[in-house]
Chain A
Amino acid sequence: MKIYLKVWRQKDASAKGELVDYTMESVEGDMSFLEMLDILNEDLIAKGEIPVEFDHDCREGICGTCSLQINGRPHGPDRLITACQLHMRSFKDGDTIVIEPFRAKAFPVVKDLIVDRTSFERIQQAGGFISVNTSGQPVDANAIPIEKEFADKAFNAATCIGCGACVAACKNASAMLFTSAKVSQFALLPQGKVEAVERVQNMVRQMDLEGFGNCTNTGACEIECPKGISLENIARMNREYLSASLKG
C-alpha cells in the first residue's frame, strides 16, 4: 500500500522544526511501524539525505524507548501497545500519517522525533526506591507473606515502562499517572510503607518542579498507557499525599 507521511524534522534542540512530507510507495501490512520508518531511512540515505532520528530499542513493547505521537495519539491508534508493536495493517492504502515527537515542556525535543525524558529520571531519583542495602543479608523472601490482591496490584502498577505516553496524551502534559504508578507500587507493599510519607512528598515535589501540568482527571493517560495502568493509582497517590501532608 501507499502511505503519505508527515514527519516532524528538527535539527537540534534549539532549531525550529517543521513537518516534512514523504511518500512510502510499497508498505506491507506485516511491517511494524518502526520497520516502515527504517525503510524510509534507507531511502533517505540512498538519496544522500539525513535520515529521521527516532528513539527505539527493544522493539517488543517493553523498554519504553519509542516515543512517537502518531496521528495525534501517543503510540498510534491501537490500544495497549507501544509504537514498535503497531503494525502497518492498522492503516489503509492512501492514508496520511502525521508523526510528531511526544510534546511537553518537561520533554524537550533533542532531534527530530527524539525527546529528552530525564525529567522522569529525576522524579524516580527523588524517592522511587526502598532504602534497603543491596549488599546486606536481608530476611528470607517468604518471611513476609503479602496478600495476593496487594501483590497483584503492586505488580500492575510496576508494569509501567516509563515511556511517557501518559504525559504525551494528557492535555495538560501531566505526569501523574507515571508518578503515581511508582508511588503505588511501593505504597501497596509492606516493604515500602516505612518510607511512604517522604517518598510521595519528594516525588510529587520533583514532578511539580519539572514543569508537568496538573491532573484534571480526563483519563486520557489511562486510555493511552501501553500497559493499561489504572487511574486508581492516581487516586492512591492523592490519598497518600494528603495523608502525608497531614502527618508531616
Chain B
Amino acid sequence: MNSNIPSGPLADKWTKHKNEINLVNPANKRNIDIIVVGTGLAGGSAAATLAELGYNVKTFCYQDSPRRAHSIAAQGGINAAKNYQGDGDSNYRLFYDTVKGGDYRSREANVYRLAEVSSNIIDQCVSQGVPFAREYGGLLDNRSFGGVLVSRTFYAKGQTGQQLLLGAYAAMNRQIHRGKIKSYTRHEMLDLVMVDGKARGIIARDLVSGKIERHSAHAVVIASGGYGNLFFLSTYCMGANVMAAWRTHRRGAFFANPCFTQIHPTCIPVSGEHQSKLTLMSESLRNDGRIWVPKKIEDAVAIREGKLKPTELKEEDRDYYLERRYPAFGNLVPRDVASRAAKERCDAGFGVNKTGEAVFLDFDAAIMRYGREKALTSGIKEADNTLIRKLGEEVVEAKYGNLFQMYEKIVDENPYKTPMMIYPAVHYTMGGLWVDYNLQTTIPGCYAAGEANFSDHGANRLGASALMQGLADGYFVLPYTIGDYLADDIRTGPIPTDSKEFDEVEKEVLERINKLMSAKGKHSVDYYHKKLGKIMWNKCGMSRNAKELQEAMTEISELRKDFWENVRVPGTADTKNQELEKAGKVADFLEIGELFAKDALERNESCGGHFREEYQTPEGEALRDDENYKFVSAWEYKGEPKDAVLHKENLVYENIELKTRSYK
C-alpha cells in the first residue's frame, strides 16, 4: 500500500508537499466539477473552499439543510495547539498526544499535518464569526479534555459542533449565493459511477420525488461520516449511514480498520426497549465529575432495587475506580479506557441502575469545592454548608447548566441533588475508507474526508479531535491535494451522464430498490436493525473475543439473508418513503457489520477501542502487539464481506517511540 507520504523531516513534509504538487490555474478550475457527498464539517468546509478556489461544486445531503449534519451535535470542543494558556503546548505535543491517544495505530505524517493546521482552523473560524467562549479580557478561553495534560480545547458553551458547522455552512452559503455551489438537499447518494477506472459521478435519489438522478464530475469527495449506527443504539443521528462510503468500497475503495470504534463513556444509560438513540453528555463533565460505583456488592444491589440512595453511601464505601486505577489522569483518562473500566465494574455486578448497566458521575465534591472558593472570593467568611452548596451549584450551573438540564429532561432526576448515571455508548468510528496522504481512496479521483476516512485517530480518538480533523481535511488539506489530481483533467471537458457506465450503475441501483420493495416479508426494517445492533453490541462491542466474533460473522450473514427475503418496505419508491431510505441503509449495515467482525477477529491484539479479551495484561489493561499488528488493515471488496481481502499498510514511527500507553 502506497500512502504517498512525502519525504523529508516530519515538520516540513506538508509545506514541502504543498510546494511540489500540481496546481490547476484559476481559468481551468471553472471547467472542473467536483461532487461532495455529505455537508458536515468536512464536506461543508471542503465544498466552500473548493468553490471559493473556483471549482464548480455540487453538494449532496440527505437532510433538508446542510446545517443539520450531525457534526452539529458535538458538544465539547475543538483542539488546537495555540498554546494560548502558556502551558507548554506545541504542534509536536498535540501530534504526540493524538498518536499516543490513538494507541500508535495512526499515520505519523497525517497526524503531524493535523496538528500543524490546527491553529489555522481557530483563526479561520474566528474570522468567520464563530462565537467561541471568551474570557473577560476578550481573549479566547480554553479547557482541558481527556487523555491530555494541557488546556488546548476551544469551545462554544455546549455546542461547539453547531457553531463550527454554522461557520462552514455560512461559507457554503456565500458560495451558493455566488452560484459556485449547487446544493442538493434531501438527496442520497446510492452509488459511485466510474469511467475508465476513475470516479466520475454518482447516482443519487431525490428523497422527495423518489427520482433517480445522474450527476457527473471530475472528482468525488465522500464526506458522509461514520458508520456507528450499525449498532442501532448510538449517539449518532437517526439518519447517519454508511451508504456512500460502503457503495464506494464496493466499487473498489479499500475500507480501513472497520473494527476501530469509539465507545464514549459519558452517555445517558438505556431506559427501555423503546429506545431509539442514546444521548451523549460532553466529556467536559469529567473535568469536575467523579466517577464511582459502590465498593460492596450488597450496596450496589440495594441501590439497584431502590432501597438505598447513592447520597446515603459513605465516602469509604464508594469505589472511585478511575482514580484508583489511574492516579495520574484519574477521571480524565481517554475515552476507551474510561468506557472499558465502566463495563468492567458493571460486569462484576456493581452497576447502579435497574439494568445494572450504569455508573455514577458525581458532582458533589466539585459543588462543595467551587462553593468554598466562591465564598472566599465573595468575602463571605463564615459560610455554612447550605450556603456553600448553593454557591457551588451556581458555579456548576454556569459551567454545565445546559447538560444538567438535558439530563434532567431525559432521566427525570435532578443531577444537582443526586449523582448522574452514565454508561458508555457507541459514538464515533475511527475506521473508514482508506486514504493516502492526499486523502485519496484507492479509486483515482475519489477522496474521503472527515469521519468517513480512517486517517488520523488510529485505534482511539481523543476528545475534541473530531471537529479538528473534519475541518482540517475540508478547509486546509483536501482543497490543495485534490488539485494535484485534477491538474490532469483540465482538458477533459464535462463528463457526459449518458454513457454506458452511468446506464449500468443506474440499472443496478434500480434493481436494488426493486428488490427491497418487492420483498414482501413480515418484518420491518427496524426489526432487522435492532437485531443487528444487539449482535454488534454483545459480540463486537467494548470487549471482543475470537469465538464471539466468529459467531457474529455467521449471525450477521444469516440475518442479511433473512433481511433480503423477508423485509417489509411499505409504500412505493416514487415518493417520499422513509422506510425505503432506512432499508437501503440497513442493507449496507448488514454488510459492513460482517466486515467489522472479520477485522476485529483478524487483529489479534488489543489497542485503543479494540479490546480483545485474549490479549490483556494481568491488570486487565490492553496488550498491544507492535511486532505483528503495527499496520492499517485495508480491506478489498470481493463479493461477500467474509471474502474480503486484507491489504496491510505498515505504520512507520520515526519520530515517536512506541510505548505501552499508560495513564497511571
* A contacting B, Cβ–Cβ less than 8 Å: yes
Interface residues of A (CB under 8 A from B): 11-12, 28-32, 34-36, 38-39, 42, 44-46, 48-51, 53, 55-65, 80-81, 85, 87, 89, 110-111, 114, 116-118, 120-121, 124-135, 137-142, 144-148, 151-152, 154-155, 158-159, 161-162, 185-186, 189, 191-192
Interface residues of B (CB under 8 A from A): 45, 48-49, 52-53, 63-65, 67-68, 70, 72-73, 82, 84, 120, 122-129, 131-140, 156-157, 159, 161-163, 166, 169-171, 173-174, 176-177, 183, 185, 208, 235, 237-239, 271-272, 274-277, 279-280, 405-406, 409-410, 412, 475-476, 479, 524, 526, 568, 570-571, 575-576, 578-579
How far, in angstroms, from A12 to B137 measured CA to CA in the complex?
54
A63, B140: Cβ atoms under 8 Å?
A: no
A141, B64: Cβ atoms under 8 Å?
A: no
How far, in angstroms, from A151 to B48 measured CA to CA in the complex?
25
Q: Could you say which residues of chain A place their CB within 8 Å of the CB of B72?
A: 58, 62-63, 161
Q: Could you say which residues of chain B place their CB within 8 Å of the CB of A55?
A: 64
How far, in angstroms, from A88 to B239 measured CA to CA in the complex?
23
Q: Could you say which residues of chain A place their CB within 8 Å of the CB of B84?
A: 142
- With A117-B65, A162-B65, A191-B129 known as contacts, the answer to whether A85 contacts B579 (CB < 8 A) is no
Q: Which of A34, A110, A127 contacts B576 (CB 8 A)?
A: A110
A59, B276: Cβ atoms under 8 Å?
A: yes
Top 6 closest A-B pairs, CB basis? Answer: A145-B138, A129-B170, A155-B131, A138-B127, A141-B126, A129-B174
Q: Which residue of B lies closest to A47 (CB)?
A: B570
Q: Could you say which residues of chain A place their CB within 8 Å of the CB of B68?
A: 57-58, 63-65, 162
Q: Could you say which residues of chain B place their CB within 8 Å of the CB of A58?
A: 68, 70, 72-73, 237-238
A120, B65: Cβ atoms under 8 Å?
A: yes
How far, in angstroms, from A39 to B272 measured CA to CA in the complex?
13
Contacts A64-B68, A146-B138, A152-B134 known; list 14 others, CB within 8 Å.
A12-B575, A29-B412, A32-B276, A36-B274, A45-B568, A61-B406, A62-B159, A85-B410, A118-B64, A125-B177, A134-B52, A141-B122, A141-B127, A145-B139
CB distance from B530 to the nearest CB of A (A): 10
CB distance from A31 to the nearest CB of B (A): 5
CB distance from A113 to the nearest CB of B (A): 11
How far, in angstroms, from A145 to B135 measured CA to CA in the complex?
10
How far, in angstroms, from A59 to B275 measured CA to CA in the complex?
11
What are 27 A-B interface contacts by the 8 Å CB criterion?
Answer: A30-B272, A36-B274, A42-B526, A50-B570, A51-B570, A58-B68, A58-B238, A60-B280, A62-B159, A62-B162, A63-B68, A110-B208, A118-B65, A125-B173, A128-B173, A129-B128, A129-B177, A130-B129, A131-B174, A133-B52, A145-B137, A147-B138, A154-B129, A154-B131, A186-B129, A191-B128, A192-B129
Q: Which of A130, A135, A145 contacts B479 (CB 8 A)?
A: A135
Q: Could you say which residues of chain A place their CB within 8 Å of the CB of B133?
A: 151, 155
CB distance from B124 to the nearest CB of A (A): 6
Q: Which of A59, A118, A124 contacts B170 (CB 8 A)?
A: A124
Q: Could you say which residues of chain A place their CB within 8 Å of the CB of B135?
A: 148
- With A57-B63, A59-B238 known as contacts, the answer to whether A124 contacts B173 (CB < 8 A) is yes
Q: Which of A120, A146, A192 contacts B134 (CB 8 A)?
A: A146
Q: Could you say which residues of chain A place their CB within 8 Å of the CB of B166?
A: 158
B274, A31: Cβ atoms under 8 Å?
A: yes
B49, A135: Cβ atoms under 8 Å?
A: yes
- With A124-B170, A134-B48, A138-B127 known as contacts, the answer to whether A63 contacts B524 (CB < 8 A) is no
Q: Could you say which residues of chain A place their CB within 8 Å of the CB of B174?
A: 129, 131
A151, B134: Cβ atoms under 8 Å?
A: yes
How far, in angstroms, from A169 to B576 measured CA to CA in the complex?
26
Q: Which residue of B lies closest to A86 (CB)?
A: B409
Q: Which residue of A lies closest to B122 (CB)?
A: A141
Most chain B CB inside 10 Å of its own CB: which residue of A29, A118, A130, A189: A130
CB distance from B506 to the nearest CB of A (A): 24
- With A58-B73, A141-B123 known as contacts, the answer to whether A12 contacts B524 (CB < 8 A) is no
A185, B129: Cβ atoms under 8 Å?
A: yes
How far, in angstroms, from A61 to B70 measured CA to CA in the complex?
11
CB distance from B131 to the nearest CB of A (A): 4
CB distance from A104 to the nearest CB of B (A): 15
How far, in angstroms, from A128 to B524 measured CA to CA in the complex?
42
How far, in angstroms, from A135 to B50 measured CA to CA in the complex?
9
- With A130-B170, A192-B129 known as contacts, the answer to whether A155 contacts B156 (CB < 8 A) is yes
Q: Which of A60, A127, A185 contacts B279 (CB 8 A)?
A: A60
Q: Which residue of B lies closest to A132 (CB)?
A: B127
A125, B176: Cβ atoms under 8 Å?
A: yes
How far, in angstroms, from A22 to B326 measured CA to CA in the complex?
54
A134, B274: Cβ atoms under 8 Å?
A: no
Q: Could you say which residues of chain A place their CB within 8 Å of the CB of B45?
A: 134
How far, in angstroms, from A59 to B72 measured CA to CA in the complex?
12
Q: Could you say which residues of chain A place their CB within 8 Å of the CB of B120?
A: 137
Q: Could you say which residues of chain B place their CB within 8 Å of the CB of A127?
A: 177
How far, in angstroms, from A157 to B136 measured CA to CA in the complex?
19
Q: Could you say which residues of chain A place their CB within 8 Å of the CB of B183?
A: 121
- With A140-B123, A189-B131 known as contacts, the answer to whether A135 contacts B52 (CB < 8 A) is yes
Most chain A CB inside 10 Å of its own CB: which residue of B136, B159, B280, B405: B159
How far, in angstroms, from A29 to B570 measured CA to CA in the complex?
29
